[in-house]
Structure 1
Amino acid sequence: MTEHKRGADLTLGGRRVHERLTREEPELIARVLARIQADVADYRRLPVEELAGDIAGITRQAVRAFVRSLREDRELNAAELRQVGASAVRRAEEGFPLEAVLTAYHVGAREIFAVGSASSGRADVADLLEVADRVLAFVGTVTGAVTRGYLEELRTKVGQEHTARRTLLSVLVDGGPVDVVARSAGITLPARYVVLSVELGPHADEESPEVDAGIAVRRKLRRFLAAFERVCGDGVLASLDGPGGLVLLPVAGRAPDWPAVLDAAGRAAGVTVLAAAETAAPGEVRTAAVQTAEVLDVLRWFGRPPGLYRLDDVLVEYQLTRPGVARDRLAAALDPLEAHPELAETLDAYLALETNRRRTAAQLHVHPNTVDYRLRRIRDLTGIDPLHPAGLPRIIAASAARRATHAPR
């Protein structure tokens, strides 16, 4: 078994490695900076003063930390790791890529090894392997410190941005000083938003006993929103859970084909999407959000197929289902059908199929004469004749009112 050799005693080419690195530090720093610029494209885009200042300083700190650890035969200490982490935090604050930072440290480690082993010969194999092992350990330790510092800052930044966006969404929807909140959060408000109230169908994975339903829901929502962000950028605001919720899409310049965008989002998430939309200025979002939620209810009640709808698409249905004495009385006209579910089912199918009795019979798997009998029973129980042109508008209105007052949300 080979006896451990102290770092201070490691010798290559007749000179202790830590002494060679100290003596050649200026040249080594210059080599590292030149190599980083040559090998890592992101560093070539940095200002010259940052390379000559901050980056050169970080490089010097890293080289000296390695030399000290070698001379004192130890790993990097807490203070040295804090310096490494602090520099990573600064890069994260600047939005500099983590991959580039890690690559730069690997480049620096290779140059340290190259300079330290420049004069090594065959007699130095054992020490050369030991130095290589020390350099690899140094790289591993530094990589961990860089990654922790960078990601902690990133998490803090993302958390702050998330909180700011949630606050802005809340103020937009609930009312408040929108401009003040946006300025304090550093967010530029668009001239207008597309306000979407959406209902998302379940993904197949949500029903699978072999899949964590919570993960399936989060994956669905992430993919759904990512499709909008690809079109609208990072200004998308959303409050969503598994069944759906509210999405605000910033409108800048020429508006895209929103139905196509919604369809793409649904396909990305692997679900059907029913949505109500309205365009509004930031100060009008609160009103628009209420209206689109109401329109979405109407779309549900009337069984509209997945897609994007506006108020103009359901004006009659919307008006018929507004709360009030008239709606309550219309709904009450069909109360006798509560005791006869087959009559209520027949009426719904008859109206949905544009009063075609044969198609109604086929859908219900009954004889057309049975449909006629049930429609006459509805007339007798409610006083409204669905078979007569004069009774049709009233029965349609009563059916809409019943959906609005009794349909589950």
Structure 2
Amino acid sequence: MRTSSPCASRELRIAGMPAAGYLRHDPRLSHQLLGHVAGGGEPRGATMPCGASRREAAEVIRGCLELVAVALQGGTAVEVPDRLRARIGDWAAEGVDLEAVQHATHLGFRFVLDLLGRRATGADSRAMVVAGQRLAEVLDRLVTAFTGSYLRELRAQGNARDDAGGQLASALIAGDAGPAQLRGSGFATADAYAVLALGVATETGDDAAVRDEHEARRRLRRMRMELAAGRGGPAPALLGPEGGTVLLAEDRLEDAAAADLLDRLQRAAGVPLLGTVVHALTDEVPAATKDAHTLLDLAQRLYRPAGLYRMADLAVEYQITRPGPGRRRLAAVLDPLRAQPELLNTLVVHLRNDRNRQRTSRALHIHTNTIDHRMRRIAQHTGLDPMNMDGLWYLRAAIVAHTYETGADPALMPELPAAGR
């Protein structure tokens, strides 16, 4: 809530003259002020619109001085004129830094306050206090309005960029992106792409912040901002709160760009992310996208920790999960345990704990001797000894196949060791 300054209803006088007169009676003031805030040319750090920068800056300065004059006369505080908001919006669209605009605005107000201070006498101390308060109120209105203009423009640009990136990504994924569309898209293009499928790590699925819709929208916004700020420029993408697809143009089929982007997106999102990457030539992007998301689904269902995965990292699991007689035969290995769920559950928990008897004991609230007894019973029923490396590998593979074959709880899928380990 805004409060009225002391003497707000009276015109301020300094050295016996209306304070507003010092601003309105000197036709050179706006030019002096322009030179002051521009440092001889432009606001520090700014890149003003070419060809009209000084004229437009002078226009903004005159508009600001009018607001200050009204305040010094004790008039009712007025809103920032639409023409000023529009001009600042133009600067935002043309790349002028908001920091430079705000810096110049503060410089201008200090200039005006110093001007009044040089005219003031010893009897004007109270008037100078009120002048500072009124100028501060006008400055607050201007900074708020200018920042709002920038935010509206940036949101509009971001939405347009997201739409363009989404359209290009959709076209590439559908195999409909022609050479003309690629060249005119404004996005970096190449003969090959790293197709990055993104998703929230399954281990965070019970996290309230992950499920909260408001937090999900924030997560999406932060990921889009990070994607747009990439060192190599933005990439075409289809993103949602739970992840999506990003297409990274590549000259060489390497994973470095995908790994770096996943790391930055994960920090921006604030939650652990899984990423799977498949490399493809442009006309192979549709098939690569399908493969990348198949791998992502597999990594999530396997409860893999956050990070980037390639086909080589999940090749064995991927092959095991393919429908067919091999998967059915593997899944059938666990049929003898279906009537004894405590054995199957103990096997899964024990394998997920890397066969650490103490951790499994704590997780299941049973004695370590009970674990050993159940492992022996599993060996008797299945013919595979979980304490033997060959039996261990076969049982792990059987659990993966069983989960896909029966649609069982994905938690029933411990991590498979590397072949031969």
SS in 2 for 1:187: coil
SS in 2 for 1:107: helix
Is the CA contact (8 Å cut-off) linking 1:66 and 1:76 kept in structure 2? no
Query: Per-residue CA shift, 1:237-276, capped at 9, x if unaligned?
Result: 352535x554444546786376577567657767555443
Following superposition, the deviation at residue 123 of structure 1 comes to: 4.6
1:62 aligns with 2:47: no
Percent of aligned pairs with the same residue?
A: 28
Could you list the runs of 5+ residues in structure 2 that have no partner in the other structure? 1-5, 411-421
Is the CA contact (8 Å cut-off) linking 2:375 and 2:387 kept in structure 1? no
In the alignment, the residues of structure 2 paired with residue 309 and residue 203 of structure 1 have an alpha-carbon distance, to the nearest angstrom, of 18
In the alignment, the residues of structure 1 paired with residue 50 and residue 215 of structure 2 have an alpha-carbon distance, to the nearest angstrom, of 47
Q: Which residue of 1 aligns with 2:323?
A: 323
Query: Per-residue CA shift, 1:144-171, capped at 9, x if unaligned?
Result: 3322322222222222223333333333
Paired residue type of 1:374: I
SS in 2 for 1:376: helix
1:81 aligns with 2:81: yes
Alignment map for 1:304-343 (pairs within 5 Å): 307-324=307-324, 327-328=327-328, 331=331, 334-342=334-342
Q: Which residue of 2 aligns with 1:90?
A: 90
SS in 1 for 2:81: helix
Alignment map for 1:169-188 (pairs within 5 Å): 169-177=169-177, 186-188=186-188
- Could you say if the C-alpha distance between residues 74 and 183 of structure 1 is closer, same or farther in structure 2, counting changes exceeding 3 Å? farther
Query: Per-residue CA shift, 1:315-367, capped at 9, x if unaligned?
Result: 3432332224554465456545432324545776899999x9x99x9998547
- Could you say if the C-alpha distance between residues 206 and 223 of structure 1 is closer, same or farther in structure 2, counting changes exceeding 3 Å? farther
In the alignment, the residues of structure 2 paired with residue 342 and residue 203 of structure 1 have an alpha-carbon distance, to the nearest angstrom, of 26
Q: Which residue of 2 aligns with 1:29?
A: 30
Alignment map for 1:3-402 (pairs within 5 Å): 6-7=10-11, 10-26=12-28, 28-38=29-39, 40-43=43-46, 45-46=47-48, 49-67=51-69, 74-75=75-76, 77=78, 81-116=81-116, 118-125=118-125, 127-177=127-177, 186-197=186-197, 198-202=199-203, 206-207=207-208, 213-214=212-213, 233-235=233-235, 237=237, 239-242=239-242, 245-251=244-250, 256=256, 262=262, 273-299=273-299, 307-324=307-324, 327-328=327-328, 331=331, 334-342=334-342, 344-345=344-345, 365-366=369-370, 371-378=375-382, 400-402=400-402
Is the CA contact (8 Å cut-off) linking 1:33 and 1:56 kept in structure 2? yes
Q: Which moved more, 1:274-283 or 1:329-338?
A: 329-338
Is the CA contact (8 Å cut-off) linking 1:203 and 1:217 kept in structure 2? no
Could you list the runs of 5+ residues in structure 1 that have no partner in the other structure? none
Paired residue type of 2:380: R
Paired residue type of 2:36: R
Following superposition, the deviation at residue 56 of structure 1 comes to: 1.9
Is the CA contact (8 Å cut-off) linking 1:343 and 1:378 kept in structure 2? no
- Could you say if the C-alpha distance between residues 182 and 35 of structure 1 is closer, same or farther in structure 2, counting changes exceeding 3 Å? farther
Is the CA contact (8 Å cut-off) linking 2:187 and 2:233 kept in structure 1? no
In the alignment, the residues of structure 2 paired with residue 136 and residue 367 of structure 1 have an alpha-carbon distance, to the nearest angstrom, of 74
Is the CA contact (8 Å cut-off) linking 1:330 and 1:401 kept in structure 2? yes
Is the CA contact (8 Å cut-off) linking 2:194 and 2:258 kept in structure 1? no
Following superposition, the deviation at residue 287 of structure 1 comes to: 1.6
Paired residue type of 1:150: Y
- Could you say if the C-alpha distance between residues 163 and 145 of structure 1 is closer, same or farther in structure 2, counting changes exceeding 3 Å? same
Following superposition, the deviation at residue 101 of structure 1 comes to: 1.4
Query: Per-residue CA shift, 1:66-86, capped at 9, x if unaligned?
Result: 446656x524645x6112211
Following superposition, the deviation at residue 122 of structure 1 comes to: 3.5
Following superposition, the deviation at residue 3 of structure 1 comes to: 7.4
Is the CA contact (8 Å cut-off) linking 1:85 and 1:145 kept in structure 2? yes
In the alignment, the residues of structure 2 paired with residue 264 and residue 318 of structure 1 have an alpha-carbon distance, to the nearest angstrom, of 27
- Which has the greater radius of gyration? 1
- Could you say if the C-alpha distance between residues 402 and 4 of structure 1 is closer, same or farther in structure 2, counting changes exceeding 3 Å? closer
- Could you say if the C-alpha distance between residues 331 and 124 of structure 1 is closer, same or farther in structure 2, counting changes exceeding 3 Å? closer
Query: Per-residue CA shift, 1:12-34, capped at 9, x if unaligned?
Result: 345444444333122x1222122
SS in 2 for 1:42: coil
Is the CA contact (8 Å cut-off) linking 1:12 and 1:121 kept in structure 2? yes
SS in 2 for 1:164: helix
SS in 1 for 2:207: helix
Following superposition, the deviation at residue 108 of structure 1 comes to: 2.0
Is the CA contact (8 Å cut-off) linking 1:196 and 1:275 kept in structure 2? yes
Is the CA contact (8 Å cut-off) linking 1:169 and 1:238 kept in structure 2? yes
Paired residue type of 1:169: A
Following superposition, the deviation at residue 92 of structure 1 comes to: 1.0
Q: Which residue of 2 aligns with 1:405?
A: 405
SS in 2 for 1:235: coil
Following superposition, the deviation at residue 89 of structure 1 comes to: 0.5
Following superposition, the deviation at residue 90 of structure 1 comes to: 1.2
Alpha-carbon RMSD: 4.9
Is the CA contact (8 Å cut-off) linking 1:220 and 1:270 kept in structure 2? yes
Is the CA contact (8 Å cut-off) linking 1:203 and 1:220 kept in structure 2? no
TM-score (norm 1): 0.71
- Could you say if the C-alpha distance between residues 84 and 212 of structure 1 is closer, same or farther in structure 2, counting changes exceeding 3 Å? farther
SS in 2 for 1:322: coil
Count of residues paired in the alignment? 392
Q: Which moved more, 1:154-163 or 1:362-371?
A: 362-371
In the alignment, the residues of structure 2 paired with residue 389 and residue 128 of structure 1 have an alpha-carbon distance, to the nearest angstrom, of 86
In the alignment, the residues of structure 1 paired with residue 214 and residue 163 of structure 2 have an alpha-carbon distance, to the nearest angstrom, of 22
